[in-house]
Amino acid sequence: MTRQSTTGHDRVVKIANQVHLIYLGLLPSAATFVLLLTYGHRAPSLLFIGGVVLTAVYLAVTYSYTRLPTSIPASLWALLDGPLFALAAPKAVTVPFPFAVNGFLIDGMAFWCAIIVLALVAPDPLPWQRVASVGLGLLALAALASLAAPYVGQAVGSAGWAAAWLLVGILEGIVLIYPLLRSGDLVRSDVDGAGTYIAVMIVIWVAAMCAGLAFHAPS
């Protein structure tokens, strides 16, 4: 492989990594807006507090550990697998921008399930760290359930195979995410870059939450 082709290869992988990072960062905001716009929420203040904390943890881990493979085909598959599952999910529920909700369920659930599995099987964490990680993961799954339960309930009620398709996407996401977290290798260690990424995405998430609640029309 020539130096020029190597440089081009590295540039493609770098761009794919950056696009993936932005996609993962914006996904919670887009899905939160759609779900709150459609269904609202019974406890918006609790959603705000829990959402800010859990989204910050999600973004910090995503920024620090998310890495695509070095080969272009594998890199593109890792980038597109979640979106492809989301796009191909059967449209059992009519909501604005269902791609965002399906992608959020697939990548979000896969992320927190991988955290829980890692906390349970990894040999390194101390007992209190293991309990704290599992507790945080379960809290995150509960928050996701409170936000997306109406959507998932309608999907199961109208077409159970639609929910099964999402489950397949979640399991596939766990298989991809778990090895990245288990390796413990920091992909990005720059504190300033992480702080900026987290701050910008948190502001966008809060704005999306407020907008979804403000425009929600109670039935």
Q: Give the residue extent of every domain in the chain.
A: 3-215
Instruction: Give average pLDDT by consecutive 10-residue segment, the chain, 219 residues.
Output: 61 78 90 92 90 90 74 69 66 72 85 87 79 89 87 67 73 79 70 87 96 86
Tokens (6 digits) for 99: 């791609």
**What does the pLDDT read at residue 153?**
77
Question: In 10 A of CB 98, how many CB atoms?
Answer: 20
**What does the pLDDT read at residue 78?**
67
**What does the pLDDT read at residue 210?**
96
* φ, ψ for residue 28, nearest 5 deg: -60, -35
**What does the pLDDT read at residue 29?**
95
Considering the chain, what is the average pLDDT of its residues?
Answer: 80
Q: pLDDT (tens digit, 9 = 90+) per residue, 198-215?
A: 999 999 999 999 999 999
